[in-house]
Chain A
C-alpha cells in the first residue's frame, strides 16, 4: 500500500503518510502538520496522491506527483521518495558538442528512457563524482537527444572537463528536476520569458513547448547578454518572431551607460508594468532571478504565476 523508495511502510487505518513514515523510523521533516508550511513535501513516483494532499502546490508540482504527507490519507498504493531524490544515474553518450558563442557550447547527449518536460534540468555527471545541473532546451517529442546550453567558466571544473569531451564519449545523467516548465498556463495567458546568458536554454525549451501545445496568447522573450556573441540564438529567434505573429523576441545587450542599469532585468522591468495576469518564467543568475521575482510580485504578479530557475553555482 505504501512504499518509501524500495522499503514497505505499514500504514494503519486513518493514519497520514507522515505518521506512518515517523512510526517506521524514517527521517521525515515536518512543522505545521496541517498542510500549510510545505516542510514535509515528498514526491510520489508511483501511484497518484489524493488531491487533498496537493492543496497549495503549483500545477507543475502536482503534475510531477509532489504532495504533503502530513495531510495525505492514501486511497490507492503509493511509492514515494524525498523531494530532492533525482533517482538512478543513467548512461548517456555525447552525440554532439559544438560552440554557440565564444564561451557557450551546445551539448547533445543520447540517453534512453529519460522522460522530462522542456525547461526542467538534469544532473550531468562526469568522471563519477563531478556533478552539475543543466537545463533542457530540447523537446522530448521532437528531439531524440537531450540538449543543453552550457556557459564555459574559465576556471570551472565541469567547464574544463566539457572542453575535453568529444562525440562518442560517455557521461551519466540523473533527474530530471525542477518545475520551471509549461504547466498551469492558460492558453490565452500572456507569457513572459526572461533570462540572461544560458538562462535562455530552459526558456527556449518552454517556448517550444508552448508553441507545440498551441499557446495562443502573446509571448514575449527577453534574452540578455554582455556582448553580441552572447545572443547566441539571435538569428533563429528573430526568424521565429517573424513567422509567428504572437512571438516577440527582445534581445538585450548590456548597456553600462543606460540610466537604469542597462541589463535585461532593468529593460524588462521598465517595459513590463502590468504583469498581473502574465505567466512569468525567469532563468539565469541568482541576482537576476531574485530581483525580477520580487519586483514582479510587488507589482501584483501572483507567486503561482512566477516560475524560475536560478543557476546557483554548486558547492
Chain B
C-alpha cells in the first residue's frame, strides 16, 4: 500500500483542498482572527505547507519550526480549542472532497501529533 500522501493524490490533492480549507478557516469565527494581518497570497502558501504536512507529504519541518511558526499566535491566546477547530475544518474539507473516512482520520491524527509543538508546550 502506498503512503497516505500518495493515496490522497499528492500535490493535486493539496491544490484541490487549499482554497476550500482556507475559506472555511476565514469563515470560522473561533479562529479567523489568527489569520488577519498576514497577506492572503502569502497565507495561501503557508496553508499549502500545512496541508502537505498533514497529508503526510514531503516536508522538512522540525518541532522547533512548528514552535516558531506559531509562537506569535500563542502569545495572542492560541490554545487547544483552536487546534480542535482547525482539525475540524480540515475534516470537513476532506469530506467535501470525497476523501474516505479512514484517510480523514489519518490526516487528523498527523495534525494532532504536532499539537504540543504548535502550542509551544
Contacts and interface: CB of A to CB of B under 8 A. Distances in A.
Contacts of A303: 19, 40-41, 44
Given A31-B69, A294-B40, A37 B46 contact: yes
Interface in A24-64: 31-34, 36-38, 55-56
Nearest to A298: B23
Contacts of B45: 36-38, 56
Contacts of A294: 26, 40
B40 A32 contact: no
Main secondary structure of the interface of B (DSSP, over half): helix
Interface residues of A, number: 15
B14 to A, nearest CB: 8
Contacts of B52: 32, 34, 36
A299 to B, nearest CB: 9
A32 B59 contact: yes
A159 interface: no
Contacts of B22: 297
B9 interface: no
Contacts of B3: none
Contact of A302 (B19, B57, B69): B19
A208 interface: no
Interface string A281-306: 00000000000011001100011000
Contacts of A36: 14, 45, 48-49, 52, 59
Interface of B: 11, 14, 19, 22-23, 26-27, 40-42, 44-46, 48-49, 52, 57-61, 65, 69
10 contacts: A31-B69, A33-B60, A34-B49, A36-B49, A37-B45, A37-B49, A55-B11, A293-B40, A297-B26, A303-B44
Interface of A: 31-34, 36-38, 55-56, 293-294, 297-298, 302-303
In the complex, the 9 A-B pairs of residues with the closest C-beta atoms, listed nearest first: A38-B45, A33-B60, A36-B49, A37-B49, A36-B48, A32-B49, A34-B59, A303-B44, A34-B58
